[in-house]
Amino acid sequence: YKQHSDILGSMIIKLYSKGVTTREIADLIEKMYGSHYSPAQVSNISKQMLPKVEAYHKRKLSDKFFCVYLDATYLPLRRETFEREAVYISIGIKP
């Protein structure tokens, strides 16, 4: 059971990191494996990613970039509202 649970947990985290909603993940798991997970359970499992995300945001960047490109794109994100939000993209090129 633990191995099956670990595999499903890993799959939930991977799907969540790809942008699949918690409800869609719960539906997929039920259809594919017959295991019922509520969207709230999927959300709790995906919270395991928070320390990794925070570490990524706090990482130290190199100050030796030859060139830096900055851009943004607007995507519809589900947060408090269903408005489009800017997602900023930056690419640094080292010599």
- Find the angle CA(27)-CA(32)-CA(34) to the nearest 5 degrees: 80
Percentage of the chain beyond pLDDT 70 is: 89
pLDDT bucket at 70, cuts 50 / 70 / 90 = very high
Judge whether residue 90 has pLDDT over 60: yes
Domain ranges of the chain: 2-56, 60-95
Percentage of the chain beyond pLDDT 90 is: 4
pLDDT score, position 81: 66
Q: What is the pTM of this model?
A: 0.51
Distance CA 13, CA 32 (A): 16
Distance CA 8, CA 29 (A): 8
pLDDT score, position 69: 92
Q: Which amino acid is at 59?
A: R
Q: Which amino acid is at 65?
A: F
The least confident of 21-25, 27-31, 46-50 is 46-50
Distance CA 45, CA 8 (A): 10
